[in-house]
Structure 1
Amino acid sequence: MIGVGSRVNHPHYGRGVVVETGSEFYMIWFKTANTAKSIAKDYAELDVLENTGGGAAPGSVSLADIEQALDSVLTQRLHEFQLVPMATKWNDGTMLLKPKDESLQGKEIPIDVFFHKIVMVRDRLRLIEQKINAHKVLTDAEKIELQQYITASYGSLTTFNILFKETIHQFRGSGKE
């Protein structure tokens, strides 16, 4: 049995730390995804790098310690945004919003300003996702229900993926994971 605090490697999400164990799933925090993911205990491709065995040794980190640290990091990052590169073809470009009624004035917005706002929306959605996953009172069913709304939001925002230089920063709906 893999215990809380065990270090693992997932073929898609990379290295992670088990933060919670359930009857059928592990909740694993992955640094590359910057979130906790629920992984089935019978998932064959999960490599155990270091197993804590499930027993808490004296001086070890408890689940409560991990949750408190995660909450602290999330709170600190609430107003930060990740430096995400925009595709170079959009550098110094503008976006023009033009109303159908030609008597009304249009709006011109620098693409980099718009891109920055899209990245902030993405980062806020990720933060909400992390808060949901780490929430102590929500049931698993409630977490899944809320996650579905976030996934649908990601899907709605995939139109703006053309602005991202690197695909790892793009929006992904339920069809790409």
Structure 2
Amino acid sequence: MPFASAAHAEARFRLSLAWVTPIVEPRPHDRLVQTSFIVTLADKGKVTEAVTRTTGRRRQSVSMQEREADLGDELGGRSGAQWRVLNESTLVRVAARPSHTFAIWLRTDGSRSCTVSLEWRLKPGFTVFEGRSRRGREPRFFTQPRVEAATCEVL
């Protein structure tokens, strides 16, 4: 089902993503992030995402969240992300951060196959990406993340 028809039927996708974030400050190291999204487009333009995130190679931390919003509205929580329909075959999730945007591009033929890609883009005036640690909320600075895996499955 193309996204333009999302108001008339439900569509579900599983996104399995992994990337390495090269932390440069406060302590240089690579941080592996593995994330799984179940994205559901429901009647009347609602989108739900169920997210499971695993971070760290040695000491793994797992978090799970489920959020729902109208397409184009902010999902809430720490992500500040929103899903938008770009055209009948492309959906994008954009999370705006102070130093950059992080986008997940979901493309599909509708019912049989889909692809997913990731994009981090620095905002003007920034030379490194800035994030926060999950526990202490202290700032972390990193360079361009490297995608390890990005797969999509129509459910």
Which TM-score bucket, shorter chain as reference? under 0.3
Structure index of larger Rg:
1
- The structure, 1 or 2, with the larger RCO (C-alpha pairs under 8 Å, 6+ apart) is 2
Greater share of strand: 2
Provide TM-score, normalisation by structure 1.
0.24
Provide TM-score, normalisation by structure 2.
0.27
